[in-house]
């Protein structure tokens, strides 16, 4: 143990402690860097999801498009009602045809 020069200012115990802790510290630094990288990826993914949801919200609930959607919905309901009425008439006509034939 006397191989270390007394003027070097580093005690042998300090060297042992530093060598033991330095490997742990390197692992901690590496883990922290990996954590920062994964946080950056998560932030990017969340930003993309937020943008996608905002675009979908604008499409579904934007006032200009919403009025067009409501108008189209009313037209579709009106057409369904008319088809139902026409279907009833068709059934009545088919029954009259059967009575006339039979």
Tokens linked to 48: 């993309």
Residue 12: the pLDDT is: 84
User: What's the rounded Cα separation, in Å, for the pair 86 and 82?
Assistant: 6
CA 86, CA 78: separation in Å to the nearest integer? 12
- The Cα-based distances of 5 to 1, 17, 18 in angstroms read 10, 18, 18
Retrieve residue 66's tokens. Answer: 């919403």
Summarize pLDDT for 37-66 with one digit per residue, the tens: 999 999 999 999 999 998 888 777 766 656
Q: What is the mean pLDDT of the chain?
A: 84
List the structure tokens of 39.
């946080």
Q: What's the whole-model pTM score?
A: 0.43
With bands split at pLDDT 50, 70 and 90, how would you rate the model's confidence at 83?
very high
């Amino acid at each position: 143990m006397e191989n270390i020069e007394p003027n070097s200012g580093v005690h042998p115990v300090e060297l042992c402690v530093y060598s033991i802790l330095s490997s742990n510290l390197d692992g901690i630094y590496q883990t922290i860097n990996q954590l920062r990288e994964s946080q950056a990826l998560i932030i990017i993914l969340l930003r993309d999801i937020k943008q996608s949801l905002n675009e979908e919200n604008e499409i579904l609930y934007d006032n200009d498009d919403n009025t067009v959607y409501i108008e189209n919905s009313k037209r579709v309901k009106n057409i369904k009602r008319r088809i139902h009425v026409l279907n009833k008439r068709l059934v009545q006509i088919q029954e009259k045809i059967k009575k006339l034939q039979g």
